[in-house]
């Protein structure tokens, strides 16, 4: 990535508080929610008890810890979906879609959308930090 801890904590542009570190934490939270909570029906706590979907920064938690969290959640999602049919379903427990049954296929497509959106955000934040652009 080539950025230091201070840079990954820089907000994109006022009034947004979006940071690269917050995006990594949020995507770890997203992985946990969709695979463990929704697909597997597990009652797991959020990773970051910040009430902000992982976006809030903790001075004690840096990029290395966030990337380790994200990698662990991705691996857990892979394990939970391994050998399962794309038509297997889980149920959304909370929020505006509570009770909705969704297939593994739907979850995977949703995650593609989620990652695409946030990778676009990351490109903009990174460019604002040091001028680097995706090539």
What is the reported pLDDT for 49? Answer: 80
Cα torsion angle, 82, 99, 69, 111, sign:
positive
* Predicted confidence (pLDDT) per residue in 77-100, tens digit: 999 999 999 999 999 998 899 999
What is the reported pLDDT for 2? Answer: 85
For 91-110, letters b (16+ CB in 10 Å) and e give ebeeeeeeeeebebebbbee
What is the reported pLDDT for 30? Answer: 97
For each of the domains in the chain, give its residue range(s) and CATH number, in order of start. 5-130 (1.20.120.450)
The predicted model scores a pTM of: 0.91
pLDDT at 135 over 70: no
pLDDT at 76 over 80: yes
CA angle 44, 32, 65 (to 5 degrees): 105
**pLDDT (mean) for 6-26:** 90
């Amino acid at each position: 990535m080539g950025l230091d801890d201070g840079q990954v904590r820089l907000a994109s542009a006022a009034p947004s508080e979006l940071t690269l570190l917050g995006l990594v934490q949020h995507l770890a939270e997203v992985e946990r929610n969709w695979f463990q909570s929704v697909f597997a029906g597990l009652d797991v706590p959020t990773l970051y008890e910040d009430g902000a979907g992982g976006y809030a920064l903790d001075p004690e938690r840096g990029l290395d810890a966030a990337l380790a969290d994200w990698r662990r959640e991705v691996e857990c999602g892979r394990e939970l979906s391994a050998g399962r049919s794309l038509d297997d379903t889980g149920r959304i427990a909370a929020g505006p879609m509570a009770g909705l049954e969704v297939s593994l296929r739907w979850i995977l497509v949703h995650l593609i959308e989620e990652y695409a959106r946030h990778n676009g955000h990351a490109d903009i934040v990174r460019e604002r930090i040091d001028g680097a652009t995706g090539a």
